[in-house]
Amino acid sequence: MKHFRLLGCTITLFAVVFSAQAQELSLSKAIEVALKNNYNIAIAHNETDITAAQNNWGNAGALPTVQGIATGNWNSSLSNLDVPSIYASQMNAGVELSWTLFDGGRMFVRKNMLEQNQNLSELDFRRNVLSLTFSIVATYFDIIRQTQQLHSMREVINYNAERVSILNTSFNAGMSAKNDYLQAQIDYNNALESAHSQEIAIIAAKRTLQNLMGNNMSEDFDVTDSITFDPSISIEDLRKKITAVNMDIRAGQKQLEITQLAFRTARTQYFPTLSFTSGYYFNLTNSSTGGNVHSQGPQVGGRLVIPIYRAGQNRQASTIARINTLSAEAQLAQTRLEVLEDLEQTFLEYENFKKSYEIEVETYKLALENLDINSARFRLGHSTSLEVHIAQNVYMQSATRMMDFAYALKMSETKLKQLVAQ
């Protein structure tokens, strides 16, 4: 493990800043800005606020409702007889209170369900945060990976430029064939093309990161962090934590609780409902026949509803709710299996990439030393242009593989932490 930590430090030394004018961006700052500006996170946060606003006793049906009411009408009738027209008007107004006192416990179950919906929404929000964080980490370290590859390409360009210069001088002095000089120039041009393509790839990766952060696409920046690794990861610790903290498993548990509450809600349909009403009412009736009536005063009443027969709707609702509960239990069990399988597979990949990275670091050191030796021997005329060309290709391939393994190792590490909500 100590050796692995030293290898992580090796990659740290490879981080290179190419533009002094560009703004520096750390990984922690990128995550902070993304969580503040990302539109998907904003939408998920709004959904959480909605479920929090809905979680109250009023929506559960446990609180009384008070309303003012007013009605009025006027009518008249005409006759072709020598009888005066008849008209009448009526106006009613009042304040009315209605309160469900007992509904079989449905109001308490609804309140619990509203709370569980809020908890599920908060879990979904945290899953969105973890997903965005993973995307930020992946894109950020991809920029580092590609930047280091560009650094290696520029080193090869320097070696090629030196080889072109030496062979050009040698050819002009009549000491070497022209085809060696031409091949060196071709290798130099190919290296320039590769470096240019790599610069475009880095720009595209930066734009992807800016999009995730919700930032202006025209702003340039340089990454300041480097690829380092956490040596404390243990599969035993991950196995102990994962069933209790994994977001997918916790969301499945909440979904199961909600379906269980839905079943309890369906069962309350068998119980009677008792409600209480009261109010203060005002009535005024005027008529051309002289029947003027004026009344006002309080009224109190109650209503008891006993379900006797509803064409099997109560039984159907209970059956469907019970089946939904069984489905939620099966889905939760399946989610646990998939998450545990994902954990084991990801850790296996993590161990594989770790070993491959360690081997490739040693290979990189050997390839770099071999390139330096061949280049020194070429300057002294003890090595051929082809040998230097081969050494350059071996070095470039090793540098690319090393950074690819480092990136894959970091992504496996990040996914393991995401599985345990870290």
In a domain? residue 331: yes
Asked if residue 176 lies in contact with residue 383, where contact means CB atoms within 8 angstroms, the answer is: no
Rounded Cα–Cα distance for residues 258 and 243 (Å): 19
Helix, strand and coil content of the chain, in percent to the nearest 5, comes to 65, 15, 20
pLDDT digits (tens, 9 = 90+) for 99-115: 989 888 889 999 999 99
* 3-state SS track over 184-225: HHHHHHHHHHHHHHHHHHHHHHHHHHHHHHCCCCCCCEEECC
Rounded Cα–Cα distance for residues 314 and 54 (Å): 26
Q: What is the pLDDT of residue 335?
A: 95
In a domain? residue 224: yes
- Type of residue at 314: N
Q: What is the pLDDT of residue 77?
A: 59
183: CATH: 1.20.1600.10
Asked if residue 22 lies in contact with residue 222, where contact means CB atoms within 8 angstroms, the answer is: yes
Q: What is the pLDDT of residue 84?
A: 60
- Type of residue at 112: N
Three-state DSSP class for residue 118: helix
Distance of CA 124 to the CA centre of its chain: 8
30: Cβ–Cβ under 8 A, 6 or more apart, which residues? 136, 140, 209, 213
- Type of residue at 221: F
Asked if residue 409 lies in contact with residue 229, where contact means CB atoms within 8 angstroms, the answer is: yes
Q: How many structural domains is the chain composed of?
A: 1
Q: What is the pLDDT of residue 311?
A: 81
In a domain? residue 320: yes
Which of 202, 224, 266, 245 has its CA nearest to residue 336?
Answer: 245
Rounded Cα–Cα distance for residues 168 and 178 (Å): 8
Which of 7, 404, 17, 36 has its CA nearest to residue 224?
Answer: 17
Q: What is the pLDDT of residue 103?
A: 87
In a domain? residue 287: no
Rounded Cα–Cα distance for residues 293 and 284 (Å): 6
- Type of residue at 32: E
Rounded Cα–Cα distance for residues 177 and 183 (Å): 11
Three-state DSSP class for residue 69: strand
**Backbone phi, then psi, for 20, in 5-degree steps?**
-75, -20
Q: What is the pLDDT of residue 20?
A: 42
Q: What is the pLDDT of residue 290?
A: 59
In a domain? residue 58: yes
Asked if residue 321 lies in contact with residue 259, where contact means CB atoms within 8 angstroms, the answer is: yes
231: Cβ–Cβ under 8 A, 6 or more apart, which residues? 1, 4, 5, 8
In a domain? residue 382: yes
pLDDT digits (tens, 9 = 90+) for 336-349: 999 999 999 999 99
Q: What is the pLDDT of residue 17?
A: 36
In a domain? residue 177: yes
**Backbone phi, then psi, for 342, in 5-degree steps?**
-60, -40
Rounded Cα–Cα distance for residues 12 and 227 (Å): 6
Q: What is the pLDDT of residue 153?
A: 93
Q: How far is CA 132 from CA 156, 238, 240, 285, in A?
A: 36, 22, 25, 67
Question: Other C-beta atoms within 10 Å of 66: how many?
Answer: 12
pLDDT tens string, the chain, 422 residues long: the values are 333 433 444 434 334 333 445 688 899 999 999 999 998 899 999 999 999 999 999 888 889 999 998 988 877 655 555 556 666 777 889 899 999 898 888 899 999 999 999 999 999 999 999 999 999 999 999 999 999 999 999 999 999 999 999 888 888 888 878 888 898 999 999 999 999 999 999 999 999 999 999 877 667 888 887 888 998 899 999 999 999 999 999 999 999 999 999 999 988 888 899 998 998 888 887 766 656 777 888 888 888 989 888 888 888 988 999 999 999 999 999 999 999 999 999 999 999 999 999 999 999 999 999 999 999 998 888 888 889 999 999 999 999 999 999 999 999 999 999 999 87
In which domain, by residue range, is 51 found?
Answer: 2-82+103-273+311-419
What's the chain's Rg over C-alpha atoms?
38
pLDDT digits (tens, 9 = 90+) for 219-255: 788 888 788 899 889 999 999 999 999 999 999 999 9
In a domain? residue 96: no
